[in-house]
A = this chain, B = another copy of it.
């Protein structure tokens, strides 16, 4: 599909903008008065922190092309402890998957889910019942993103070691860590509701592309609105619907793609997380769903971390996804 993508000509953009989905007003009460200084050297203002705030909203930023080649937009849903920034420029400064799919002819809708980034977050314990946690570099490196074996992170960069053949641009690990945001375990219901509400805005259908924690939200959203979803692409989903609780037959007409990188078996987090996706894959297959399960190392594409869209072969992986997708949705020939 590489030949389908014009990497040189300017993108012709109809509109760039954003909106919010969901959100409800809650009232904070019982908080002590505060003083605030809004700017260096500015006056002190008394404020009453009690009152209404909006919580539970999700942020969505869109780029609408003048002449999209795909008849349906691409919704790009990030993983846990992350925001839509994951889809933008890679940590080493290359165009990310958002640019890739814009150049391929898709309108893109990149979201920051509830509690993250431009979606904001709500006070704890007043609204969220608990404090967030901040993912450490250690957890990023050894546990979730699989940059190196367990025990290989060190605060001293000279003492770190990576998996042999790793494709993640490790010299730019600090830029990648900049993309992290705090996360909570208590907002799954609100997040799913926001994604479900987002789909209701698209009467003519969408493609859902997710990463990691976004995977379960994406597959569940498709279950709840199968007629609105033309395809579901899950990059290393950390979870999936439980076939004992959900009827995969609802999705028999919705093609699904799973993509997996390297080193999974070396990381307990992934060994424990993978079976949920395998069970849902099997249920989808039994239901007659058009399903593709790409294990990149089996295609001799080795060295991919969990950050598939940031790895130095990110465009190669994106091309596999585009190739799969173009065969399954209406796609116009190249515009003049």
Seen from chain A, the residues whose Cβ lies within 8 Å of a Cβ on chain B are 10-20, 23, 25, 27-28, 34, 36-43, 45, 47-54, 57, 59, 61, 63, 65-66, 80, 83-85, 88-89, 93, 95-96, 98-99, 102, 112, 117-118, 120-123, 132-139, 143, 153, 155, 174-175, 177-182, 185, 188, 192, 212-213, 215-216, 220, 237-239, 241-242, 268-269, 272-273, 276
A134 x B139 contact (CB < 8 A): no
Q: Name the one of B39, B118, B122, B180 contacting A238, with C-beta atoms under 8 angstroms.
A: B39
B17 x A66 contact (CB < 8 A): no
Tell me the minimal C-beta distance from A12 to chain B in angstroms: 4
Q: Name the one of B65, B136, B213 contacting A53, with C-beta atoms under 8 angstroms.
A: B136
Tell me the minimal C-beta distance from A224 to chain B in angstroms: 13
The answer to whether A98 and B16 touch (CB under 8 A), given A123-B134, A188-B40, is yes
Nearest B-chain residue to A245, judged by Cβ: B41
Extra 14 A-B pairs, beta carbons < 8 Å, given A23-B177, A85-B118: A11-B16, A12-B13, A16-B88, A16-B99, A23-B174, A39-B188, A39-B237, A39-B238, A45-B269, A48-B139, A51-B139, A52-B137, A53-B177, A84-B118
Tell me the minimal C-beta distance from A74 to chain B in angstroms: 14
Q: How far is the CA of A25 from the CA of B38 in the complex (A)?
A: 27
A-B contact pairs, 18 of them (CB 8 A): A10-B12, A11-B13, A16-B98, A36-B133, A38-B212, A38-B273, A40-B216, A40-B220, A41-B242, A42-B238, A43-B273, A48-B139, A49-B136, A52-B138, A53-B136, A53-B137, A112-B118, A123-B182
B66 x A10 contact (CB < 8 A): yes
Q: How far is the CA of A205 from the CA of B213 in the complex (A)?
A: 41
Q: How far is the CA of A238 from the CA of B245 in the complex (A)?
A: 54
B residues near A139, Cβ cutoff 8 Å: 47-48, 51
A17 x B238 contact (CB < 8 A): no
B residues near A122, Cβ cutoff 8 Å: 134
B residues near A273, Cβ cutoff 8 Å: 38-39, 42-43
B133 x A34 contact (CB < 8 A): yes
Nearest B-chain residue to A180, judged by Cβ: B120
Q: How far is the CA of A269 from the CA of B215 in the complex (A)?
A: 46
